[in-house]
Structure 1
Amino acid sequence: MARVVGQGVSVDLLIEDLGADLEGRSFEVAKVGGGWMLRTRSAFAPAIRAAADLGEHALDLRECDVAVLAAITYHQPITRDGLKDIFGKEISRDLIGRLHARGLIGTGPRSPRGGAPYIYMTTEQFLVAFDLQSLQDLPDREQLEEAGL
């Protein structure tokens, strides 16, 4: 953006002005993953979901998907062995594949040695799907544990 408007121009002020221009409209500027995106306001989600025929919940995650996604989120980067340590059993490649296919997780860098395991971490799409600016916006792990989650 700085290249388009010129050096020395405050991108933050431009974003603020754009946000003010969009006030009351169906779109907003949202900070996501260290950047900005133009997106539909959540109040318009039901109308867009109905028009796009996405059903009630576009992510359609199973309970086990959510549990593994939470483990990856709070322990990233993590391997399948790390997930096995958390859950006490192997996590299927199919489950990992479902989360990867939805763009919620990705693989991180592997060790250069042969046979090195994949490591899993959340993606920017994860932040978008759960309306988070960054992982810092996640609920505190200790509070979740105290609540029995």
Structure 2
Amino acid sequence: MSDFNTLRLIEALLFASKDPVPTSVLAAQIPDDEDIAEILETLQSHYANRGIVLEGAGNAWAFRTASDLAGDLAIQRVASRRLSRAAMETMAIIAYHQPVTRAEIEDIRGVAVAKGTVDTLLEAGWIKPRGRKQTPGRPLMWGTTDGFLDHFGLATVKELPGMDELKAAGLLDKREGLASLPTSEEDEDDETETDLEMEDGEEAVDAGTSADVIQLDQAR
């Protein structure tokens, strides 16, 4: 059983941080004989039915407002940047096919990916290099980050919607190249990514979970 003061310390660290705290950072703050997994499980159970809940985002943790209260707390305001359809397609490809190279993204989409698209995702903290592919030229491969999971309220990439759901929401074209994305019943082990940059000739479109609508910041 975890010491009560240790439990309080972890609770305070999570509450005080504006960003999700990695499990390794939390573990470094407690005695060696304490189990950080047990402490986090205890806190999760304690806050399970409250207005604030403890959620994992990859290998990090943060307090968030309960999802069922989102409708009561939502405040909508227009942001300066909007997701283009090309950006959302690129996002989905990285998400479900990671680690994936830029050339592979272009092959699936059937059009070139602007350099600014990748730059924007890097600045957002949603993608990171995932090594180099062992092919001629050794191109970089890209994958998602814990920051991406946190932004979209996902604990793991297994919670990503399937292709049918994305198409139903109007977030994907029904072009042949994008048919390689998984459906809601397959490829659960693939991972995620997102894109904020408009490409030449592409019209920006609204997306329910995109940067067009920003909800009230969740409590930390």
Per the TM alignment, residue 127 of structure 1 is displaced from its structure 2 partner at its CA by 0.6
**Residue 63 of structure 2: aligned partner:** 38
2:50 to 24, 27, 30: 24
Alignment of 1:1-149 (within 5 A): 1-22=26-47, 24-25=50-51, 27-42=52-67, 43=69, 50=75, 55-56=77-78, 60-110=82-132, 116-140=138-162, 141-143=182-184
**In proportion to residue count, which structure has more helix?**
1
Q: Is the 8 A contact 2:50 2:66 kept in 1?
A: no
Displaced runs of 4+ in structure 1, greater than 6 A? Answer: 111-114
CA–CA separation in structure 1 for the residues paired with 2:136 and 2:152: 35
Secondary structure at 1:15's aligned position in 2? helix
Shift of 1:71: 0.2
- C-alpha RMSD of matched pairs (Å): 3.4
Residue 3 to residue 83, structure 1, CA distance change in 2 (3 Å): closer
SS at match of 1:119: strand
Distance 1:96 1:60 in 2: 15
TM-score (norm. length: structure 2): 0.51
- Tell me the distance in 1 between the aligned counterparts of 2:84 and 2:103: 21
Higher relative contact order, chain-length normalized (CA < 8 Å, sep 6+): 2
Percentage of identical aligned residues = 25
Corresponding residue for residue 204 of structure 2: none
Q: Could you report, residue by residue, the CA deviation over 1:4-58 in whole angstroms, capped at 9, with x for unpaired residues?
A: 3323333233223323554534x321111133223344436975x75xxx83569
Query: 2: CA distance between counterparts of 1:94 and 1:124?
Result: 22
Segments of structure 1 that go 5 or more residues without pairing to the other structure are: none
Asked whether the equivalents of residues 60 and 146 of structure 2 are also in contact (C-alpha less than 8 Å), the reply is no
| Conservation of the 8 A alpha-carbon contact between 1:65 and 1:99 | no
Q: Name the count of aligned residue pairs.
A: 140
TM-score of the aligned structures, taking structure 1 as reference length = 0.71
Could you tell me which runs of 5 or more consecutive residues in structure 2 were left unpaired when the two chains were aligned: 1-25, 163-181, 187-220
